């Protein structure tokens, strides 16, 4: 019998059992790896990867944790996903393979459709029966029992789409190039027949060391997935005639100096998105709001003090003075005393007198997140009020770093929509 099946990683990766070495500021870096089977001191290579793995896969296991083998014990199974260079054009396609434990030969016996997103679980050792889940941008995920021998399918679920109007909303993923040449993606959801609607930008910047790191982080984008609209999903604003814009806003720099250019990169990203969406008639650039939660709230306040683009803002559970996080923040490892100018430059509280537009802030009174104590919002609101800036602060009792009570969520929606209507539609 086979004694073990295990992955080995090239020594350059520095880690055993993982397909790549993790580097700060981006996704895992490509490396070399092997999946081998060992019997009586002899090994068989089942899979070998050099560089970036466009078809990452792993051994299929039974519920006991043991590797699932074919009835004759001569094969194991691999479950993986095929990705593509441009996921906005070609969606990821899960697959199942049978791999020989004698010579490592692989046979791909099932793969997801290119037009829909399907995932499959093997139910029997012969891999003739699958539990398959299928979805598309307009098709709610449904699960089926599939017999690969007879091609028969039996529906096991009858899930419903509870927001068909949002499912049919206009959705686009657009690639934008900003002034420094960095390319990034923007997701836009808008009323289907709208022409230049008012828009809410919902942001949360992410940090990368290079453009390549950013590109690899998007490999998992799935254009064939069904969009689930939960209770906090801002896409619901489409019902009120708004476009919802979700730009990636990458901050690209060396890890040790990640935030030195945070403000200009934020400004250039938003400017590039506005120009491109305006060119496509997807937004009315004279009626824009910006919003975000946590680091997104911090970035919203920065956008409103360092750009003239937004008439309104919504900022939740944010940090507005980086002196309150003096030992580093996000992926920047520097302490405040090492990078004093940067800490001050990215703190919107210090530029509150420059804020344009009206800012609605909210904060959980029991926020336990290390970098976003409620005092941040209290001091920012005090400053804006003293400066005569239009602002409002709502403090939610018994809420942590994310509001979950039904009463809180309903109150937020009432305040968000009233705020946007007042400053974008009036």
DSSP secondary structure letters along 4-34: EEEEEE-GGG--SSSSSB--TTSSPBPEEEE
Confirm whether 421 is a catalytic residue.
no
Give the active site residue among 10, 271, 278, 401: 401
Which residues lie closer than 8 Å to 141 by C-beta, 6 or more apart? 133, 134, 135, 157, 159, 226
DSSP secondary structure letters along 271-309: HHHHHHHHHTT-S-TTSEEEEEETHHHHHHHHHHHH-S-
Which tokens hold the place of 182? 């960095």
**What's the CA gap between 422 and 64, in Å, rounded?**
58
Q: Closest by alpha carbon to 316, among 174, 415, 168?
A: 415
Detail the DSSP E strand segments found in 83-233: 93-100, 106-111, 117-122, 129-136, 139-147, 152-155, 170-177, 183-190, 199-202, 206-208
Confirm whether 367 is a catalytic residue.
yes
The CA-based angle 237-217-121, given to 5 degrees, is 85
Give the active site residue among 294, 299, 347, 377: 294
Give the active site residue among 53, 260, 332, 367: 367
Confirm whether 84 is a catalytic residue.
no
Q: What is the DSSP letter of 387?
A: T
**What's the CA gap between 167 and 351, in Å, rounded?**
40
Q: Active-site residue numbers?
A: 294, 367, 401
């Amino acid at each position: 019998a086979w004694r073990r099946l295990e992955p080995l990683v090239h020594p350059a990766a520095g880690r055993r059992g993982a397909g790549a070495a993790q580097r700060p500021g981006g996704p895992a870096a490509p490396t070399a790896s092997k999946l081998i089977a060992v019997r009586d001191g002899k090994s068989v290579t089942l899979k070998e990867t050099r560089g970036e793995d466009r078809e990452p896969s792993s051994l299929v296991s039974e519920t006991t944790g043991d590797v699932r083998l074919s009835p004759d014990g001569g094969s194991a199974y691999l479950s993986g996903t095929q990705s593509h260079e441009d996921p906005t054009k070609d969606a990821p396609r899960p697959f199942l393979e049978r791999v020989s434990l004698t010579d490592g030969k692989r046979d791909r016996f099932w793969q997801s459709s290119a037009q829909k997103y399907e995932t499959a679980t093997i139910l029997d050792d012969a891999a003739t029966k699958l539990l398959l889940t299928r979805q598309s941008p307009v098709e709610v995920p449904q699960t089926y029992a599939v017999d690969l021998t007879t091609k028969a399918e039996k529906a096991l679920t009858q899930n419903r789409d509870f927001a068909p109007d949002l499912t049919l909303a206009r959705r686009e993923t657009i690639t934008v190039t900003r002034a420094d040449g960095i390319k990034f993606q923007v997701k836009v959801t808008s009323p289907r027949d709208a022409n230049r609607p008012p828009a809410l930008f919902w942001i949360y910047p992410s940090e990368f060391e290079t453009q390549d790191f950013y590109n690899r982080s998007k490999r998992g984008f799935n254009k064939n997935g069904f969009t689930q609209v939960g209770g906090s999903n801002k896409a619901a604003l489409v019902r009120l005639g708004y476009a919802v814009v979700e730009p990636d806003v990458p901050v690209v720099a060396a890890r040790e100096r990640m935030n030195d250019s945070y403000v200009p990169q934020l400004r250039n990203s938003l400017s590039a998105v506005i120009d491109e969406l305006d060119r496509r008639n997807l937004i009315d650039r004279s009626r824009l709001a910006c919003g975000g939660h946590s680091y997104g709230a911090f970035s919203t306040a920065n956008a409103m003090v360092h750009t003239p683009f937004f008439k309104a803002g919504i900022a939740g559970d944010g940090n507005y003075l980086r002196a309150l996080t003096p030992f580093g923040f996000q992926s920047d490892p520097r302490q405040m005393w090492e990078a004093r100018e940067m800490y001050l430059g990215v703190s919107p509280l210090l530029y509150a007198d420059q804020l344009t537009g009206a800012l609605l802030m909210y904060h959980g009174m029991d926020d336990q997140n290390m970098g976003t104590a409620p005092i941040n919002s209290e001091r920012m609101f005090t400053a804006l009020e003293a400066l005569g800036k239009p602002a409002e602060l709502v403090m939610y009792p018994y809420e942590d770093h994310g509001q979950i009570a039904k009463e809180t969520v309903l109150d937020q929606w009432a305040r968000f929509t009233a705020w946007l209507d007042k400053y974008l539609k009036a």
